[in-house]
Structure 1
Amino acid sequence: MENVLCERPESGAPEQAVIAHFRLGGEGFGGPGERARFFDAERAMSAAVEAAGVGEVDGNEFGGGEAVLYAYGPDADALFKVMEPALRELPLRPAYVVIRRGEAGDAEGLVSRVDL
């Protein structure tokens, strides 16, 4: 039986990334309202990314007064375009997005930052 949750298809294209950083209240994991808004936005972005077929929203991390959202796909610009409306609607600030074109650690890859 194939485990589709752990295996990624071999596409030949580098896996590019959109990594969004949001500041939370306090130094820890943010308040319940902040986390709820973040999770709602994450679900909306995941559905939009899946419907557009541009990649996947892969999860999040909370801690140190920050929430980080990770998304991956073959074209970081297309991925960001689909995610951007929900990223901008999320009221947690300051916030920024790192767009990585190329594989992680690729010296030829291009990384840019977009302030939200």
Structure 2
Amino acid sequence: MMVHFDYYPKDDARIRVLEHRLENAIKRAGVGELGETEFHLDGNDGYLYMYGPDPDRLYVVVSPVLKSSTLMTNAEVTKFHGSRTQTFVIHRDGTR
């Protein structure tokens, strides 16, 4: 699963806290692992990568953490189901 979000260097500390919360939630639920976070320094793009055998279950576990972070407002989530993908936006009101 990939989460594409707006990245600003001033948010580094908040992103690290978010990563820690995601990693803990994923480990507790045993649904996969948090991968590397990617930042495009020439723009304002950030990407969180999460891996697990069931992207739907992974999203159920991480969605409360993502939705609780204002950094993830309007973030784009892509779930990979083999060769098929499902992409949607986390809206400001916390809906998918």
TM-score band by shorter chain is 0.7 to 0.9
Mapped to 2, the partners of 1:59 and 1:81 lie a distance apart of: 20
C-alpha distance in structure 1 between counterparts of 2:16 and 2:78, whole Å = 19
Structure 1 ranges of 4+ moved more than 2 A: none
Aligned equivalents of 2:46, 2:13: Cα separation in 1: 12
* Equivalent residue runs for 1:83-102 within 5 Å: 83-92=62-71, 93-102=73-82
Question: RMSD of the TM alignment (CA)?
Answer: 1.2
**SS of equivalent to 1:40:** helix
User: Normalization by structure 1: what TM-score?
Assistant: 0.70
What SS is found at the alignment partner of 1:99?
A: strand
Q: What residue in structure 2 maps to residue 72 of structure 1?
A: 51
Picking from 17, 20, 45, the partner of 2:3 is 20
Could you tell me which runs of 5 or more consecutive residues in structure 2 were left unpaired when the two chains were aligned: 91-96
| Identity over aligned pairs, percent | 33
Is the aligned partner of 1:115 residue 2:85?
no
Q: TM-score, normalised by structure 2?
A: 0.83
User: What is the CA deviation profile of residues 39-61 of structure 1, one whole-angstrom value per residue up to 9, with x for unaligned ones?
Assistant: 11111011110111100001100
* Count of aligned pairs between the two proteins: 87
Consecutive unaligned residues in structure 1, runs of 5 or more: 1-17, 25-29, 103-108
Q: Give the one of 13, 25, 42 matched to 1:48.
A: 25
